[in-house]
Amino acid sequence: MLLHSRFMAWKFSFWGVVQMQSHKRKLFVIILAILGTIVLACGCNAQPALPKGLSLTITGDVQNEIVLTDYEGWDRTKIQYRGESQEVIPLEPILARSGIMGEQVTIFLSAPDGAIAEIPLEQISGECWLRLTAEYGWQFISENHPRQAGIKYMNYIVVSAAEPGRQGPCVRVIDGAKETALTYGQLFAAKAINRMVPEGEAKKGSLSTDVYSRRSLIPISQYLKDESKTQTTALAYYGDGSQGEIALAGFLEWRGNSADYLGPDGRTRKPDIIGIWVDPPEYSVTDLAPEALLALKEGPVLVILLDGVGYHNFLALQPAFLGSKDPKPARTVMPSISPVGLGAIVTGRLPKDNGITARNMRELCVDDIFVNASNMGKTSAKVGGSTKVISTSINQLLNPDLNGNGSTDDEVFACAQRELAIGTDLVFVHFHGYDDIAHTYGPLSPEAAARFDELDEYVKELCRGFSGTVLVIADHGQHPAQGDKLGEHGEFRLLDLVVPWIRFENHGARP
Ligand SMILES: [Zn+2]
Ligand SMILES: [Zn+2]
């Protein structure tokens, strides 16, 4: 019935229009068109289309960079802002998803025209929003904040921590005893020079065009000690596990949540620099494998790996036996953790080249020292505790804590002694005990010191029955920490990076 009457009404109006006089019909069509436009306009107002091509990147000291081009994936909310209804998305969950790292955090709201506003993170509340409009681009919206926070056409929100978090990524500079940590947020705000960097010349027929790009270059020299400013080069560590020499006249370039090294020309680029070491030790942990193989040509080799024993802590703990063997500093690899350090030690190759660049990686992609020993017709043994840190070409002789004294070092020692007694050419001994106990009690705690003295005794005992070359090294050091662990490592800092390097010829008697 309802359907029928609607049909009748439509039929009536249709015929009504057709039967109208022509000038009346024109007027009717115009009114209809105006009405239609109003209806359409109202519809658009209810769900305005967001402008295209405007992106906002949330970056800096964050785990995950987030790029917003619209409201997709976030809770759209209608709020009343300055007397108008606005469609916005909340800022807090976006910052939460980015995974903010570090301490004392502020956020920079930044636009390409150079306008920047800074807000402490603790002042960001559930009433802070992001709005995207054609008129103002991306904008920070909050009734509670000063008007100046509403930077127009914002393209970056840069999270900036005053201190990097535990093992949080940043760029660190080591110059003598001076250590500087630069978070990515700090690099965003760093003193920089603006330079037009020539990119080349283009030619078409007889016409030519020079091409440049304007770069914001952060001089590395500003982070050096005054007396180091005559130094021209440093060793750089990169996020992919590679290392290389850089010029101290070069620059850093902020790249969001990473930084690149740029040469003094402002053009030569190496991505993801994580560390600059002005005066690194001459020895590297990657020197051990070639050194051991060279010595193996002459006779048996005993390699002792003291897990977690840094060079500075080694000196502070004053081991009676090893302290008398002329310990030298050596540099380890990054991240300064067991699998990465061990991978570099047993292959003589940097992480980038040996395949183990991070935690939870175990497989090497190049030959290790044991393959090379075997190629020389030499026998070898890898002696370790109850767990295997990485996979090597020969199986590790596993030594669980059989007597339940809370340490595998005594079992490792006994196993190593057996291998030396049967005349194995290359014996590689990995003592884990110090690292474990230093994590728990601190690297220079009485507990760690006692364990270290024990290790020193074990090495002395092993040497008593051994004639050949002894090499002692560590995979990384440890620095004091607070919280659930009192010792930590993994960072680009002296206590983690400098390890002892000891080599001596020993003339013991086989037991
Ligand atoms: Zn370790
Ligand atoms: Zn450890």
283-284 and 328-331: which strand pairing? parallel
- Residue 36 has a pLDDT of 56
User: Which ligand has an atom closest to residue 342 CA?
Assistant: 1
Spacing, Cα 435 to ligand 1 middle (Å) = 6
User: Which ligand has an atom closest to residue 167 CA?
Assistant: 2
Cis-peptide into 335, omega within 30 deg: yes
Closest CA to 290 of 70, 503, 22: 503
* Gap between the Cα atoms of 307 and 286, Å rounded: 16
- 446 C-beta neighbours (distance < 10 Å), count: 9
Spacing, Cα 477 to ligand 2 middle (Å) = 8
Domain boundary, last residue among 226, 261, 277? 277
Spacing, Cα 346 to ligand 2 middle (Å) = 18
Spacing, Cα 434 to ligand 1 middle (Å) = 9
* Gap between the Cα atoms of 454 and 448, Å rounded: 10
Classify residue 68: in a domain, yes or no: yes
User: Which ligand has an atom closest to residue 339 CA?
Assistant: 1
User: Which ligand has an atom closest to residue 499 CA?
Assistant: 1
The domain that contains 134 carries what CATH number? Answer: 3.90.420.10
Tell me, yes or no, whether 246 and 331 share the same domain.
no
User: Which ligand has an atom closest to residue 439 CA?
Assistant: 2
Tell me, yes or no, whether 179 and 322 share the same domain.
no
Closest CA to 500 of 468, 439, 442, 455: 455
CB 279 within 8 A of CB 173: no
Tell me, yes or no, whether 97 and 127 share the same domain.
yes
Q: Which three-class secondary structure state does DSSP give residue 450?
A: helix
User: Which ligand has an atom closest to residue 389 CA?
Assistant: 1
Name residue 328's beta-bridge partners: 501
Q: DSSP string of 207-233?
A: EEEEEEEEEEEEEGGGGS-GGGTT--E
* Gap between the Cα atoms of 120 and 114, Å rounded: 20
Render pLDDT for 426-447 as a digit per residue (tens, 0 to 9). Answer: 999 999 999 999 999 999 999 9
Helix axes 433-441, 446-464, angle to 10 degrees: 170
Tell me, yes or no, whether 336 and 394 share the same domain.
yes
Tell me, yes or no, whether 382 and 496 share the same domain.
yes
* Sign of the C-alpha dihedral computed for residues 144, 148, 152 and 157 taken in this order: negative
Spacing, Cα 475 to ligand 1 middle (Å) = 5
Spacing, Cα 448 to ligand 1 middle (Å) = 14
Classify residue 253: in a domain, yes or no: yes
Tell me, yes or no, whether 184 and 296 share the same domain.
no
Spacing, Cα 242 to ligand 1 middle (Å) = 20
Classify residue 38: in a domain, yes or no: no
User: Which ligand has an atom closest to residue 487 CA?
Assistant: 2
Number of domains forming the structure of the chain: 3
Q: Which residues, at least 6 apart from 37, have a Cβ–Cβ distance to it below 8 Å?
A: none
CB 407 within 8 A of CB 381: no
**Any idea of the CA torsion for 37, 42, 45, 48, to the nearest 10 degrees?**
-60
Spacing, Cα 40 to ligand 2 middle (Å) = 66
Q: Which helix (H) or strand (E) holds 320?
A: none
* Sign of the C-alpha dihedral computed for residues 357, 362, 364 and 365 taken in this order: negative
Spacing, Cα 433 to ligand 1 middle (Å) = 10
User: Which ligand has an atom closest to residue 435 CA?
Assistant: 2
Spacing, Cα 250 to ligand 2 middle (Å) = 34
Tell me, yes or no, whether 237 and 88 share the same domain.
no
Spacing, Cα 339 to ligand 1 middle (Å) = 7
- Residue 29 has a pLDDT of 59
Spacing, Cα 462 to ligand 1 middle (Å) = 21
Tell me, yes or no, whether 444 and 317 share the same domain.
yes
Tell me, yes or no, whether 145 and 291 share the same domain.
no
Classify residue 248: in a domain, yes or no: yes
Spacing, Cα 460 to ligand 1 middle (Å) = 21
Spacing, Cα 396 to ligand 2 middle (Å) = 19
User: Which ligand has an atom closest to residue 476 CA?
Assistant: 1
For the sheet with 328-331, list strands across it.
283-284, 328-331, 498-507, 467-473, 301-306, 426-431, 380-383, 396-397
Tell me, yes or no, whether 273 and 288 share the same domain.
no
Spacing, Cα 108 to ligand 2 middle (Å) = 36
- Residue 23 has a pLDDT of 63
- Residue 45 has a pLDDT of 47
User: Which ligand has an atom closest to residue 333 CA?
Assistant: 1
For the sheet with 77-81, list strands across it.
77-81, 84-90, 129-133, 137-141
Closest CA to 234 of 261, 271, 266: 261
Spacing, Cα 338 to ligand 1 middle (Å) = 3
Classify residue 30: in a domain, yes or no: no
User: Which ligand has an atom closest to residue 285 CA?
Assistant: 1
Spacing, Cα 180 to ligand 1 middle (Å) = 24
User: Which ligand has an atom closest to residue 305 CA?
Assistant: 1
* Ion ligand 2 residues within 5 Å by Cβ: 435
Classify residue 430: in a domain, yes or no: yes
Spacing, Cα 342 to ligand 1 middle (Å) = 8
Buried b (16+ CB within 10 A) or exposed e, 244-256: eebbbebbbbbbb
Tell me, yes or no, whether 105 and 152 share the same domain.
yes
* Gap between the Cα atoms of 378 and 355, Å rounded: 25
- pLDDT below 50 — which residues of the chain? 1-18, 39, 41-45
Q: If you count them, how many residues does the chain have?
A: 511
Complex prediction ipTM: 0.99
* Gap between the Cα atoms of 72 and 55, Å rounded: 12
Q: Which helix (H) or strand (E) holds 110?
A: strand 103-110
Residue 43 DSSP symbol: H
- Residue 15 has a pLDDT of 47
Helix boundaries (H) for 429-490: 433-441, 446-464
Spacing, Cα 341 to ligand 1 middle (Å) = 7
The domain that contains 297 carries what CATH number? Answer: 3.40.720.10
Residue-number span of the structural domain to which 393 is assigned: 283-507
Name residue 380's beta-bridge partners: 426
* Gap between the Cα atoms of 368 and 190, Å rounded: 43
Q: Which residues, at least 6 apart from 430, have a Cβ–Cβ distance to it below 8 Å?
A: 305, 307, 342, 382, 383, 384, 385, 389, 396, 412
Spacing, Cα 436 to ligand 1 middle (Å) = 9
CB 467 within 8 A of CB 485: no
Buried b (16+ CB within 10 A) or exposed e, 289-328: bebbbebbeeebbbbbbbbbbbbbbbeebebeebeebebe
Classify residue 480: in a domain, yes or no: yes
Domain boundary, last residue among 277, 311, 327? 277
Spacing, Cα 492 to ligand 1 middle (Å) = 15
* Gap between the Cα atoms of 424 and 396, Å rounded: 14
Classify residue 231: in a domain, yes or no: yes
Spacing, Cα 485 to ligand 2 middle (Å) = 10
User: Which ligand has an atom closest to residue 309 CA?
Assistant: 1
Spacing, Cα 439 to ligand 2 middle (Å) = 6
Tell me, yes or no, whether 82 and 141 share the same domain.
yes
